[in-house]
């Protein structure tokens, strides 16, 4: 039996298609959308026609996927997918249309729907957001910085008192 | 004559300072033996230290030894309060007062830099406490200080606040719970943390005498 990739040998995009999956749990895709873009602050100045759109970095990549599981063992696929969607970990999302760039994602929300009239089939609505990396992690050893500055401030106090002693002794010497 | 008065005033302030520094540290025994030696030496040679312009260095050494011997934040609060009570008339005395207040703050910061905090509540309490200290310092000694000293003090205060803020961010919060019935420390540890091994934390946090009968109103960590 042929696959959709064999339908038209000239359509190279078909050859690139790969099974969709999240954290290793596969599903079929009915439709999907990927969104991102730049975070922009638009500066518009009084008495000037030209604005300035300041780029402040990229928006997180988001996927909105309508997928489904089908077949005599659809319930097993469904359970596997539910398990990975409900765990508190990120997973690799394979976009069937962009399989060369799998993305570490977190499922923000999902719903699964089953119909009495459609046995052996369930559909998923899933929202994924890019995991990215942890930001603003304090790497500075503030305890050490505090200890060092305490030493520096202590030294300032020391020189204050030593200088006062010097002024006092000089006063005696010169003042008689 | 006036010089003798000035010296007497400054040394009296320093002696009061050293009495306050030693509070809470055992006056005999092996603990604090180095501190007592350093302070004894200092008091025996005060005038020579003034003449050699090294009185500041040796006084700071006394504070350092007191900290190593076990002086606490409260001890240093005592030093600062003793210094606030002093009203020197001469410059040397004013410098001694300023140094005492500065040294007590420095030692408090060094103590805090080595402290291990358990919860955000602990850090918040420390922040409130130290903010009062910083305010008192600014109020009392800012007019006695020159620009460099003031800058060193404010920089230390800023790094202290930053250290506490960064430390706080990494810690779990304290949550108050009222249990429906009295339970043992082990069962509560398992109930809250999913780990019976953390019962000692609960006992310490709630100052429980008999761990079998925990009070119903308890404080636990959020993580």
Q: What percentage of residues in chain A have a pLDDT greater than 70?
A: 91
Q: Chain B: nearest CA to A29, how far in angstroms?
A: 39
User: Quick check: A170 contacting B, CB < 8 Å?
Assistant: no
Taking the C-alpha atoms of residue A40 and residue A22, their distance in angstroms, rounded to an integer, is 31
Whether residue A40 is predicted with pLDDT greater than 90 in this model: the reply is yes
Nearest to B166 among A142, A147, A166 (CB): A142
B60, B59, B21, B67: which is closest to B42 by C-alpha? B59
**pLDDT band of A1, cuts 50, 70, 90:** low
Percent pLDDT > 70 in chain B is 98
pLDDT of residue A136: 62
DSSP characters for B136-200?
HHHHHHTTT--HHHHHHHHHHHHHHHHHHHHHHHTSPPEEEEE-SS---HHHHHHHHHS-GGGHH
Best to test chain B binding among A139, A146, A157, A174 (most B CBs inside 10 Å): A157
Cα four-point dihedral sign B113, B116, B121, B122:
negative
Which pLDDT score, from 0 to 100, does residue A174 have? 47
**Cβ pairs A/B, distance under 8 A:** 130
Interface of A with B in 121-140 (CB under 8 A): 138, 140
What is the arithmetic mean of pLDDT over A42-53?
Answer: 93
pLDDT at B196 over 90: no
pLDDT at residue B4, rounded to an integer: 79
Q: A162 and B156: CB-CB below 8 Å?
A: no
Identify the pLDDT of residue B16: 93
Contact: A162, B152; criterion CB under 8 Å: no
Instruction: Note whether A143 contacts B169, CB cutoff 8 Å.
Output: no
Residue A67's pLDDT is 96
- Per-residue pLDDT at A125 exceeds 50: yes
- Name the pairing type of β-strands A103-113 and A121-130: antiparallel
Q: Which of A32-36, B3-7, B47-51 has the lowest mean pLDDT?
A: B3-7
Using the beta-carbon criterion (under 8 Å), do B92 and A143 form an inter-chain contact?
no
Check residue B160 and give its pLDDT: 94
Q: Please check whether residue B83 is in contact with residue B45, taking contact to mean a CB–CB distance below 8 angstroms.
A: no
- Answer whether residue A176 shows pLDDT above 60: no
* Among A152, A154, A159, beta carbon nearest to B103: A154
> Among A140, A150, A166, whose Cβ lies nearest the Cβ of B113?
A150
> What is the C-alpha separation between A85 and A106, in angstroms, rounded?
8
Contacts of A174 in chain B (CB under 8 A): none
For residue B6, give the chain A residue with the closest CA: A168
| Facing residue for A157 by CB, picked from B49, B53, B56 | B56
Would the CB atoms of B159 and A146 count as touching at under 8 Å?
yes
Among positive and negative, which fits the CA dihedral A115, A117, A119, A122? negative
- Cα nearest neighbour of A174 on chain B: B3
Three-class secondary structure of residue A106 per DSSP: strand
For residue B174, give how far its alpha carbon lies from the nearest alpha carbon of chain A (Å): 22
With 90 as the cut, is the pLDDT of residue B136 above it?
no
Instruction: Provide, as residue numbers in chain B, all residues whose Cβ is less than 8 Å from the Cβ of A166.
Output: 53
Tokens at B171, concatenated: 């810690």
A28: pLDDT strictly greater than 60: yes
């Amino acid at each position: 039996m042929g696959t959709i990739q064999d339908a038209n040998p000239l359509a190279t995009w078909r050859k690139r298609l790969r099974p969709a999956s999240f954290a290793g749990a596969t599903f079929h895709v009915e439709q999907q959308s990927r969104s991102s873009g730049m975070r922009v602050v638009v500066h518009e100045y009084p008495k000037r026609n030209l604005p300035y759109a300041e780029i402040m970095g990229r928006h997180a990549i988001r996927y909105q996927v309508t997928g489904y599981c089908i077949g005599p063992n659809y319930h097993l696929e469904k359970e596997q997918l539910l398990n990975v969607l409900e765990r508190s970990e990120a997973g690799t999302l394979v976009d069937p249309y962009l399989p060369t760039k799998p993305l570490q994602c977190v499922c923000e929300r999902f719903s699964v729907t089953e119909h009495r009239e459609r046995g052996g089939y369930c559909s998923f609505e899933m929202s994924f957001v890019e995991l990215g990396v942890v930001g603003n992690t304090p790497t500075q050893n503030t305890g050490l910085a505090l200890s060092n500055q305490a030493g520096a401030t202590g030294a300032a106090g020391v020189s204050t008192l030593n200088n006062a002693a010097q002024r006092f002794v000089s006063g005696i010497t010169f003042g008689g | 004559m006036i010089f003798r008065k000035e010296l007497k005033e400054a040394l009296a302030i320093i002696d009061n300072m050293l009495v306050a520094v030693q509070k809470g540290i055992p006056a005999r025994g092996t603990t604090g033996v180095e501190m007592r030696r350093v302070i004894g030496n200092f008091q025996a040679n005060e005038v020579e230290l003034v003449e050699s312009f090294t009185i500041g260095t040796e006084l700071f050494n006394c504070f350092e030894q007191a900290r190593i011997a076990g002086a606490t934040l409260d001890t240093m609060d005592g030093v600062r309060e003793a210094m606030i009570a002093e009203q020197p008339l001469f410059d040397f005395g004013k410098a001694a007062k300023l140094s005492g207040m500065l040294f007590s703050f420095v030692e408090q910061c060094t103590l805090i830099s080595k402290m291990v905090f358990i919860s955000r509540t602990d850090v918040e309490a420390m922040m409130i406490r130290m903010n009062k200290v910083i305010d008192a310092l600014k109020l009392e000694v800012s007019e006695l200080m020159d620009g460099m000293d003031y800058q060193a003090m404010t920089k230390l205060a800023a790094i202290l606040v930053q250290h506490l803020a960064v430390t706080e961010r990494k810690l779990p919060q304290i949550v108050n719970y009222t249990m429906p019935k009295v339970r043992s420390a082990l069962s509560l540890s398992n109930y809250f943390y999913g780990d019976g091994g953390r019962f000692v934390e609960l006992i310490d946090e709630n100052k429980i005498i008999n761990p079998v009968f925990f009070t119903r109103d308890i404080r636990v960590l959020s993580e």
